Amino acid sequence: MYLYIKAVHIIFVVSWFAGLFYMVRLFIYHTEANDREESERKVLQKQFELMESKLWNIITVPSMILTVCSGLWMMIELKWYHHPWMIVKFLFVLGLLWYHFKCQVFMKQMREGMFKWTSTQLRIWNEVATIFLFAIVFLVVLKSAVSWLWGFVGLILFSMIIMLAVKIYKKARMRKG
């Protein structure tokens, strides 16, 4: 039974991350729609609100629930308290859950016409999920085979590279626009 639960877990992890990645892209487009003329802005924002709502309620939230439930089941089966890497993974998953619910707050704010973040800030926010993904996958694959110090250093370097890439992309967009 464990392998079936593991397969379900992997499928819904992929779906959850897909939902989170696409949701923040929709936030970026939703925010950028503010720069359009009034008639176009109203149509675009209404469409983005619909897309965000469907993505959130049909894919992202159910995937998160199934990921967490199957993950907890596996943690119990594996006797997680015997595996230090599993405790660290659990902490990253708690961070990902915080990220998930913060995205829900953003969605509600945008629906109410509050755009607190710029599209560039949202692009950086989108990369936070990427950092969680890398950290969790490396932990699961390498388990205790990697030094915690080198793992942390690698995660910091990876985060810096991602942030640098966002800044380079912003400069490239500014030149085009």
CB 21 within 8 A of CB 129: yes
Q: Is 9 annotated as a binding residue?
A: yes
Dist. CA 87–CA 106, nearest whole Å: 29
CB 28 within 8 A of CB 120: no
CB neighbourhood size of 28 (10 A): 20
Dist. CA 96–CA 93, nearest whole Å: 5
CB 75 within 8 A of CB 93: no
Q: Is 116 annotated as a binding residue?
A: no
Question: Residue 17 has which token pair?
Answer: 């991350």
Per the listing, tokens 């119990």 go with: 76
Instruction: State the distance between the two ends of the chain, measured CA to CA, in whole angstroms.
Output: 54
Binding-site positions read 9, 89
Residues placed in the known binding site for heme: 9, 89
